[in-house]
Amino acid sequence: MKIRLELFGASRDLSDKNFLEFNVNEKISIKDLRNKIINHINDNFRGNENFKKIIQASAFCSEDNNIVSDNYKITKDQKIGIIPPIGGG
């Protein structure tokens, strides 16, 4: 199964494209996907703690543009969006 993670805001620094792709053998939860992204950071960005904090604080949305919880199950090839927190003043 292929998950295409669409990157927005600060998460775009995780790829030179606007997305990351993950291949998984079975359905996974958003929590599991979050861990896969952390592993990607460890492997490709020397465990950059700022990137990890962004991922831990981010919301995720389904293909239907609904915010989904960490318990949401991805059961098929799917696009998932990651929405990092936005700072401002």
Q: Which two tokens stand for residue 87?
A: 């700072």
CATH architecture of residue range(s) 2-83: Roll (3.10)
Tens-digit pLDDT string for the chain (89 aa): 999 999 999 999 999 999 999 999 999 999 999 999 999 999 999 999 999 999 999 999 999 999 999 999 999 999 999 999 886 54
Phi, psi of 52, rounded to the nearest 5 degrees: -60, -40
